[in-house]
Every structure is written in C-alpha cells, then in structure tokens.
Structure 1
C-alpha cells in the first residue's frame, strides 16, 4: 500500500467553497482502480491549510492510473484553482504501523 500525501494551501476566504467542491471531487477519486481510501483534514492553526491523505494499492495506481485519466481532468477543474501555492505531492510506504483497538 502507498500513502499519497499533499498539503493543500487554499486561497484565504475560499475554504467553504473548496470543501463543497471537494465533496463532489472525492467521488471521482474513490471510483479509480487501486483506490483504497482517503482523508481530508483541516489545520487548526492555519484554517486555510488542508492535509489530503490517499491510500493506493500501488504508486502506479496514482501516478499513471489516476493522473493520466480523463477523470483527473475533472478533479483538476473542480479543485486546482483553489491552491496557492500549488501543492507538492509525495508518496510514502509504511515502515511501522500500530492502531489502538
């Protein structure tokens, strides 16, 4: 499993509309092959900053499957105009993991 991590700095004053458009956009990504789940978290100290975490089966599912798909164009249209600066996206592989149950 691969974790995609993006820090999203939304233009101040546009957070509510960003969240509304993200609600629609999340259905696009959730329908992609290799998608396993996602979270969008809002920063407490900087309310116009969000953290997007997306779990993929493989790196290729994200960078080739999603980013080279027609659905990605819809994603871009819905969300990319909110970012300043444009986010850097990184991918991580788990080393250790623990969940309290």
Structure 2
C-alpha cells in the first residue's frame, strides 16, 4: 500500500470550495479499484492549508491504472481549478513505526 499526500496552500480559493470539489470527485476515487481510501483534512492553525491523503495499491497502479483509466478524467475535471495551489504531491511508503488507540 502506498499513501499519496496532496497538500494545498489556497491563495485564490476558499477551503469550502476545495472541500466541495472533492465531494464531487470522491465517487471517482471510490469507483477506482486502485484506491483503498482517502481523507481530506484542513489545518487548524492555517485553514487555507488542506491535505488530501489517498491510499493506493501501488504508485504504479495510481499513475498507470487510475490516471490512464476511465475515472481520472471526471476526477480531474472536479479538482482542476485547484491544481495551481498544490504545494506538494508525493507518494509515501509506510514504515513500521505506528500506533493507534
């Protein structure tokens, strides 16, 4: 499993607009077999900073499967206005350092 983090630093849009865009885009993630979950969070200290966390089966499945598949065009259409406000978009592999209550 790979975790993609997309961090937004909004300068021209409101946080509520990004949240609504991802509400529209979410069904495409849910329908994609490569996606195993997602979460959009906003920073408490800086509300114009939001981070999307997406669980993918692998980086290759994300880039070659999802992005070249039928769910990507409508997903991209929903979030396209915010692309210029992405501060980071990277894939991460989890380590064995974790704890959950």
TM-score range, shorter chain: 0.7 to 0.9
Offset of 1:53 from its aligned partner?
0.7
Alignment partner, residue 3 of structure 1: 3
- Does residue 29 of structure 2 align to residue 29 of structure 1? yes
Over 4 Å off, 4+ runs: none
Is 1:40 equivalent to 2:27 in the alignment?
no
Gaps of 5+ in 1: none
**CA deviation after TM superposition for structure 1 residue 45, in Å:** 2.1
Could you state the TM-score of these two structures normalised by the residue count of structure 1?
Answer: 0.84
Gaps of 5+ in 2: none
Partner of 2:65: 65
TM-score (norm 2): 0.84
Residues 29-62 of structure 1 show CA distances to partners (whole Å, capped at 9, x for unaligned) of: 1111121111111012221211111111111221
Q: Please identify, of 50-59 and 9-18, the stretch whose mean Cα deviation from structure 2 is larger.
A: 9-18
Q: How many residues align?
A: 101
* Distance (whole Å) between structure 1 residues aligned to residue 99 and residue 14 of structure 2: 34
CA contact (8 A) 2:34 2:66 kept: no
**RMSD between aligned alpha carbons?**
1.8
